[in-house]
Structure 1
Amino acid sequence: MAEITRTGLRPRFWENVPMAKMTRPEWEALCDGCGKCCLNKLEDEDTGEVALTRVACRLLDNESCLCSQYPVRHQFVPECIVLTPKTIADNMYWLPQTCAYRLLTEGRKLYDWHPLISGDADSPHTAGVTMRGETLSEWEVADEDWEDHIIEEPT
């Protein structure tokens, strides 16, 4: 039987456990807390290209870069996408380039700043790859003005 740490996670599970076989806590631990998946995106209808904006979902906490209502977010944002091993392939196009779910699906390794590697939940913020302090709430920006807030993804 696989060793379980006091966190409830198997050591280095992301390297040898298929995503479909991960426990719920392991799956959730893949999130690095960057906040980029909660940014509103604009998709070019002709090319399919997706652009990030600094306009964030109204539930994103600008300081922690986490959803302020994660367990009940669908009560407030019914269209919030739930990533699962079954749905990830359909959602790859909008996931951030640094996203662990995307990296693992593409057969790539996690970055050294990822909390599972560094052991520090603040390491993505320290590495400058999160949206901490950089977002505007979607309640503050009219939909037609989102183009004015297109950004390059922090990598």
Structure 2
Amino acid sequence: MSDVTPFWDAKPLEQLSPSEWEALCDGCGRCCLHKLRDPDDGALTYTGVACRLLDLELCRCTDYARRHARVPDCVRLTPEEVHQADWLPPTCAYRLRAEGKPLPWWHPLVSGDPESVHQAGISVRGRAISERVAGALEDHVASWPRRWPKGAKGAKPPPSEGRTRP
């Protein structure tokens, strides 16, 4: 067993290399959901409507390199933005690390499996629709992006996960 601390625990967000920064993304797609902000009180409401560039099966941007040119209001996530953003979902690895919390068991860096984020019910796969077909965002208000799915919180898998048979 190795005593080497993984980069995501060893470094603050500000010290991550570009490749480490990108690896921290769990691929859930929740940050790509449209959110509504009340102009009067600033309250934030999530929708189940995803950016038109999000592949709803893979939960990845279909044009990541040019996303800001194609979607001008796409946020360029930086360590500073992470520390200020109230719109990042509670399951977001960037938010968790900014808050000094560990990555959960389903994060691909921990599990070693990019499918674990989907298996844990964290991703938008099977839940979101594209803005291309959605119509009015107000018709698609959703509370699930604000919540942790049952059994998904924590740094270790639920007791029924990861057991071997005798």
TM range (shorter): 0.7 to 0.9
TM-score (norm 2): 0.81
Aligned counterpart for 2:67 among listed residues 73, 91, 97: 73
Taking the aligned partners of 2:76 and 2:9, their CA distance within structure 1 comes to 23
Equivalent residue letter for 1:24: P
Structure 1: 5+ residue stretches without partners: 1-9
1:5 counterpart residue number:
none
**Conserved in 1, the CA contact under 8 Å of 2:108 and 2:117?**
yes
Equivalent residue letter for 1:128: G
1:118 matches 2:111: yes
CA RMSD of aligned residues (A): 1.5
1:147 counterpart residue number:
138
1:52 counterpart residue number:
46
Deviations 1:7-55 (CA, angstroms, capped at 9, x unpaired): xxx9610111111111111000111011000000011223322111111
**Conserved in 1, the CA contact under 8 Å of 2:49 and 2:129?**
yes
1:109 matches 2:102: yes
Aligned counterpart for 2:89 among listed residues 88, 91, 96: 96
When structure 1 is superposed on structure 2, of 63-72 and 130-139 the one drifting more is 130-139
**Percent identity for Structure 1 against Structure 2:** 50
Taking the aligned partners of 1:42 and 1:103, their CA distance within structure 2 comes to 22
Q: How many residues align?
A: 143
Aligned counterpart for 2:130 among listed residues 130, 137, 140: 137
Structure 2: 5+ residue stretches without partners: 149-166
Deviations 1:37-75 (CA, angstroms, capped at 9, x unpaired): 000001122332211111110000000111110011122
Taking the aligned partners of 1:79 and 1:11, their CA distance within structure 2 comes to 36
